Amino acid sequence: MTPAPARPAPRVPALYATEVRHTRSAPVRYRLRHRTYLWLVDVDDLPVLPRLLRPLARFDARDHFSGAAPGLRAGLDAYLASRGVHGADGRVLMLAHARVLGHVFNPLTLYWCHDRSGGLVCVVAEVHNTYGERHCYLLRPDAGGGAEVAKEFYVSPFFGVEGSYRMRLPLPGERLDLTVQLRHADGSRPLTATVRGTHRPATTRALLAALLRNPWPTAGVSFGIRRHGIRLRLKGLPVRPRPTRPARPVQEDAL
C-alpha cells in the first residue's frame, strides 16, 4: 500500500484538554461524557519533566505492547515486524495518558507511524480493557483518516466480539477529533465514541493547570468506566460472557 501523503507535523510534546463522549443506541440508549487530558508525544523524544514533577507524567514501556520491551519504540517495532509492516522507520507520534502517581489506564492508545520522508505508513490502535488485557489493531487509514477493522477483542461486558470498528483517526493538530464506531453485520451501530480536544504546548504551567482540572486523570478514567458499568447493569443491560484468551496482564498500579 502506498503511504499516505505527509501532513504538517504537530508540535510535540503537547497536551490536549479533551472531552470523551460515548453514545449507546442499543439495546438501551445511554450517553456519557467525561473530561480529561491526553499527551501527544514523539516516542523517540519523550518529555523529561523537572524532578519534582516526574511522578505526574511518566511513559513506561511496560504499559504497552508485550510490556517486556526496553522502550516504547522497541515494543512498537516488534509488533509491526510481527505483522509484516516495513518502512515505518520515521517519526512515531503517540496519543495516550501518562502514568500519574503510579497509576495508568489507557482505554485507547494511538500510534501514527511514518516513514523517513514523513509519509504516514499505518496507525496502531492499542486497546486496554479493565480485565488487565491489551490488544492492538493495525490500521491503514485513507486520506481522511478513516479505517475499518474487524472487532477481535473483548472490551465492554455488554458487547461480545462480533462486528467491526469504523474509525476516523486523523493526525492531531490544533484540534483533536477522533471517532470510533462499533458496527454490526445487520447494519446497526450500537456504540459511537468521540474524543475532541484542543492543542496546548506541554509546558510545566499547562501540565499543572491540567492537573488542577483533573487531579488524577487515569484513576478517574478507571473509576468512570466502572461507575457507568454499574448504571448500565441497573438499567437491565445483560452481561456478555468474556471469552477465554491468552493475554498479558496490564499492571495498572505498579510503581
pLDDT tens readout for residues 57-112: 999 999 999 999 999 999 999 999 999 999 999 999 999 999 999 889 999 999 99
**Residue 248: inside a domain:** no
**Residue 252: inside a domain:** no
Per-residue pLDDT band for 255 (boundaries 50, 70, 90) equals very low
DSSP single-letter state for residue 220: H
Report whether pLDDT(222) > 50: yes
DSSP single-letter state for residue 69: S
pTM metric for this prediction: 0.88
Reduced to 3 DSSP states, what percent helix, strand and coil does the chain have, rounded to the nearest 5? 20, 35, 45
**Residue 44: inside a domain:** yes
**Residue 240: inside a domain:** no
**Residue 242: inside a domain:** no
- Structural domain harbouring 116: 14-234
**Residue 228: inside a domain:** yes
- Is the bond into 10 cis (omega within 30 degrees of 0)? no
Per-residue pLDDT band for 248 (boundaries 50, 70, 90) equals very low
pLDDT in tens, 172-220: 999 999 999 999 999 899 999 999 999 999 999 999 999 999 887 777 6
CA distance 252 to 255: 9
Per-residue pLDDT band for 1 (boundaries 50, 70, 90) equals very low
CA distance 85 to 162: 26
CB 63 within 8 A of CB 104: yes
CB 191 within 8 A of CB 23: yes
Provide the number of structural domains found in the chain: 1
Report whether pLDDT(2) > 60: no
Cell 447493569 sits at which residue? 233
**Residue 6: inside a domain:** no
Could you tell me the three cell numbers for 57?
507524567
